[in-house]
Amino acid sequence: MQRYVLKRVAQGIIVLFVVTIIIFVLGQLSGAPVDLMTRHFSTPEVSEQLRERWGLDESLPVQYWRFISGIARGDFGESVRYGQPALEVWLTYLPNTLILATAAMSIVLIISIPTGILSAIRVGGWFDKFAKIFAIMGQSMPEYWLGLMLILAFSIHLGWLPTSGMGTFQQLLMPAFTLSYYFIASLTRLTRSTMLDVLDSDYIKMARIKGVPENLVIVKHAFKNALVSILSLLGVMIISLPTTSVITEVVFRWPGIGRLLVNAALERDFPLVRTCFLLISVGYIVASIVADILYAYVDPRIRYK
């Protein structure tokens, strides 16, 4: 077990290094950030000064080393737009994304699992057909378009919900639902097929023969066994939710780190872009490692691969 943990963590660290290298290399390739950021200044002297100040006239490995050691110290550079340390800006917006992700997660759980189970129990019935259509649509629809259609329906036509912003429960509802839609589709499909497989197995037949009431058969025996597969997908979802919230945040103007990244990208605020990207990747990779370790703990077969 320990070996697996070490292996996994080492792997994660390598990935993180690669990420920093990618960011660094691309930042260099895309043309001197100085020129883009100082387009307003016409004097070459100012550009030269800025270049020196940001250490852009030094050799590449040196620059990379500065980059890395800065990160280790917690210095991610200063955001051009906000004038504050990029890290601070990011941390300010982080909780908002977490709120959104948590809300979306809850919605996914509340909707998918009962729907999947019910679909499996009444295979081929109208509920099942409806659920299947819902699921397939979910995997074919662009997230931002769904958000826009929801806004069109519920804000513009019905006037029930506000279109954007954060703060009230109503404002949370549509973004959370939009974010969760894709995952609802996946999880419902998975729950349904896992339940179907399990319901077909011998021990279920045994329970029925024994005379166990159907409710108990489904919940206590079938579902518990289906839970294992479901949990693995759930883990993947928890990890990816904060990262996939980017699009939803943009559509609903939700002040989270995803939207921060996009705005920074559009304004060419390189320090902030790099910081957001780095930190989101770090979070994602750390969460993946934790999830993998948990699976290895639960399912011993994984450790020996």
Contact flag: residue 170 with other proteins (CB under 8 A): no
| 125, two tokens | 């019935």
Phi, psi of 68 (to 5 degrees): -65, -45
Q: CA–CA separation, 194 vs 186, rounded Å?
A: 12
Do 236 and 99 form a contact (C-beta atoms < 8 A)? Answer: no
Residue 153 neighbours by CB distance under 10 Å = 13
Q: CA–CA separation, 295 vs 304, rounded Å?
A: 12
| 29, two tokens | 């390739």
Phi, psi of 38 (to 5 degrees): -115, 30
Out of 11, 49, 225, 232, name the contact with other proteins by CB under 8 A: 11
Among 284, 296, 290, residue whose Cα is nearest residue 16: 284
Cα–Cα distances (Å) from 210 to 28, 100, 205, 215, in that order, read: 70, 46, 8, 14
Which residues 241-300 are close enough to bind other proteins by CB under 8 A? 243-244, 246-247, 250, 258, 261-262, 264-266, 268, 270, 273-274, 276-277, 280-281, 284-285, 288
Q: Which residue has the tokens 């006239």?
A: 57
Binding range to other proteins, per CB under 8 A, among 17-25, 91-99, 164-172, 213-221: 17-25
CB nearer to other proteins: pick between 39 and 48: 39
Out of 13, 14, 216, 219, name the contact with other proteins by CB under 8 A: 14
Do 150 and 157 form a contact (C-beta atoms < 8 A)? Answer: no
Residue 103 neighbours by CB distance under 10 Å = 18
Q: Mask 131-160, x = binds other proteins (CB under 8 A)? A: -xx--xx-xxxxxxx--xx-xx---x----
Q: Which residue has the tokens 């260099």?
A: 28
SS3 of residue 85 by DSSP:
strand
Out of 4, 5, 9, 19, name the contact with other proteins by CB under 8 A: 19
Out of 5, 9, 15, 94, name the contact with other proteins by CB under 8 A: 15
What is the DSSP secondary structure assignment for residue 222, as one 8-state letter? Answer: I
Q: Mask 179-218, x = binds other proteins (CB under 8 A)? A: -----------------x--xx----x---x---------
Least separation in angstroms between residue 88's CB and other proteins is 19
CB nearer to other proteins: pick between 49 and 262: 262
Q: Which residue has the tokens 């839609």?
A: 181
Least separation in angstroms between residue 45's CB and other proteins is 27
Phi, psi of 2 (to 5 degrees): -65, -40
Contact flag: residue 240 with other proteins (CB under 8 A): yes
How many amino acids of this chain bind other proteins (CB under 8 A)?
A: 58
Binding range to other proteins, per CB under 8 A, among 63-71, 77-85, 216-224, 236-244: 236-244
Where along the sequence are the contacts to other proteins (CB under 8 A)?
A: 11-12, 14-15, 18-19, 23, 26-27, 29-30, 123-124, 129, 132-133, 136-137, 139-145, 148-149, 151-152, 156, 196, 199-200, 205, 209, 240, 243-244, 246-247, 250, 258, 261-262, 264-266, 268, 270, 273-274, 276-277, 280-281, 284-285, 288
